Structure formats: structure tokens, C-alpha cells
Amino acid sequence: MSADYCCGHPLSVTDADGISQVCDPASLPISEALVDGLAAWKQRFDLTLDHQYPPDSGFASPDDEYEFYADGLVLAAALAVELLDSHAVEYHDERYPVRQRELRLLADGAVAVDGGRAVLPTHWADLADDPDRRAALLAQFEHERAAGHVLEGKDLVLLARCTRCDDVLFRIQDGGGYAVVHLTRSSSREPSAEFPWTERHDDGVALLADVGERHR
């Protein structure tokens, strides 16, 4: 998925031989709302083209550019969730150097936890079959959690851990949604309610966008 002035759609599909072709989102098994969202996102990019002098093309401000690519990441995450059983999704972000533009949200063998409702990149490990690790990480969180923490008193289920850092993923049973928590590995309780640092998400799409961007 990428935005390009030369293409009519923001998607291309690569076949087994490595040949890519522009793809109409409406031809994929995705929701109508996502098809419309992708079209609107592409149209926003097209409006930045200066037809009289193309080298002057671009966003009106850095904030507009940031918002555009942030919205694109959420759309790419939604695409990855809806195509989980058939496609891997790569998101190209022009704000980054060439070698870092491709963000592979879901590769073959991507972890799908909690009945498929939360979908994670492959560097996350599902803890469903590892009760000992799950119990140890939950105990570490409770040991670190400061009084007044955003998850204090919440009914939590530990779903997965990141294999690249000390992030863990909880499902919030009461109130719904998910929480990504960065464990501090402190030997004592944190003095500030801000720690362990926590990011809450209402659904799997927002969750995937967050964890994908975090480990670009």
C-alpha cells in the first residue's frame, strides 16, 4: 500500500513471481467502508500535486503530511486485519529513508490472538500455550504498577509479549479494548502512576497500527 501520483489506486499486488500490478481495492474481499477509506486517502494525496510545476508538489504543512501518513497506517492495519487469511500487507511511508519505507504489518505466520480479534506482527509471541511465562509477566507488571495506574483495578488477561523489547499485551475484560504495557523491569514499585508506560486501544486495527509503527 502506498500513495503515488502515477497510480490510480493506492494498492498493488505482488504475485509468486515477484511481479506487482496496481490493484483496485474493490476487487479484494474487504469491506465497502475500507474501499471508500482507501479511495479517500488516495484522493487526499492527489490533491497535493502541483499540475503546473510538479516539483513544487507536496503537503501544505508538516502537520498535514504527518496526519496523512498516520491515517494511512491505520488503513493499512485495517487492510491487514481484513486480509489476514489471504495476504500479507506492506505499507510504504515516504517520510522515511528508502530502506525503511516498507512496514510489513503481517507476514506469513502472523500471530492472531484472542480468537483472531487482535492481530499482531510476527515479532509478537502468543502466550496462550505458555501459562508459566504468562503468570511471570503478569506478576512483574503487578510488582511494578504504581498506585493510580491507568490499569489499576482492571480485569486483565495477558495475551502476548514482544520478542524485541519488554512490551506485553493485555486484553481489558471490563470496558473492552487492549493495553500495550512496557515493563520497566524495576526491582521496586514505580513511584509515578505513569509507569509502567501504557497505551490503550479500542480495537485490533488501532492496536496493529501502534505495534507496527513502534518497531519499524
pLDDT tens digits, one per residue of 133-158: 999 999 999 999 999 999 999 999 99
**pLDDT (tens digit per residue) in 1-39:** 999 998 899 999 998 888 999 999 999 999 999 999 999
Residues paired with 168 in a beta bridge:
161, 181
Dihedral of CA atoms 187, 198, 165, 169 in degrees, nearest 10, equals: 110
Per-residue pLDDT at 110 exceeds 90: no
| 192/106 Cα distance (integer angstroms) | 35
Non-local CB neighbours of 194 within 8 Å, separated by 6+ positions: 146
| Residue 107: pLDDT band with limits 50, 70, 90 | low
Considering the entire predicted model, what is its pTM? Answer: 0.81
